[in-house]
Copies of this chain bind each other. A is one copy, B any other.
Amino acid sequence: MATFPLKAYTADVIMYDIIINALTRLVEFDEEELFYFLKLLKPRMLNKNDFILEAGEICKTMVIVNRGGLRYFSLNDKGEQSNWFAFEGEWLGDYESFLTRQPSSHFIQAIEATEIFSLSYDDMQQLYAKGVKYERFGRLIAENLFIKAERSRNELTSLPAEQRYLNLIKDHPDILKRIPVQHIATYLGIQPQSLSRIRRNIASRKS
């Protein structure tokens, strides 16, 4: 990762290395561009289980996680359907609601004590208007999100639930330490009871 001598600006920028990494990984912002970006990010502390979005609201900001984790889910007749998670250095929001200014049908909740930085719609548009690098950043973020979503969609249609679970813990070995099994289950498209049985089967085959 590129090192940024941003301490010249502010002494505690070292606290934000996760954010700075996330921003500069995709586009080589110079110090001034990066600083301008950082200034638009509003910090916010969340307790575990706090919501930053509830169904019916319009999603007004996209947020990036500095510490902790968020869960993106919807509510249907079977209960909560987890759709996505975000941890350190990852962006989250209801992109559709955010872009179309229509009410969301999703919730975003902290699954741990979490520190986020939020970027409002207007500030984002201002960034896009300010320079091509910000526009490019937005493009690369959206491209990466699309690739991840599509890969995930393909797994759902082509792999059995057990294989989806094994792939998930292979790609994210520590995920069970941060996300309750019930939320992993609905993310995988099955009920918690079913995942429990799948986990039992895997464990019994290992011994």
Q: Which residues on A are within 8 Å of B, measured CB to CB?
A: 74, 76, 78, 81, 83-84, 95-96, 99, 128, 131-132, 135-136, 138-139, 142-143, 145-147, 149-154, 156-158, 186-189
Contact = CB atoms under 8 A, between A and B. Distances in A.
B142 A157 contact: no
Given A74-B154, A81-B158, A138-B143, 7 more contacts: A95-B143, A139-B139, A142-B142, A149-B149, A156-B156, A157-B186, A157-B188
Contact of A153 (B95, B135, B136, B156): B156
A54 to B, nearest CB: 17
Contact of A145 (B76, B78, B99, B146): B146
A158 B142 CA distance: 24
Contact of A149 (B138, B150, B186): B150
Given A128-B136, A132-B132, A135-B132, A149 B143 contact: no
A162 to B, nearest CB: 15
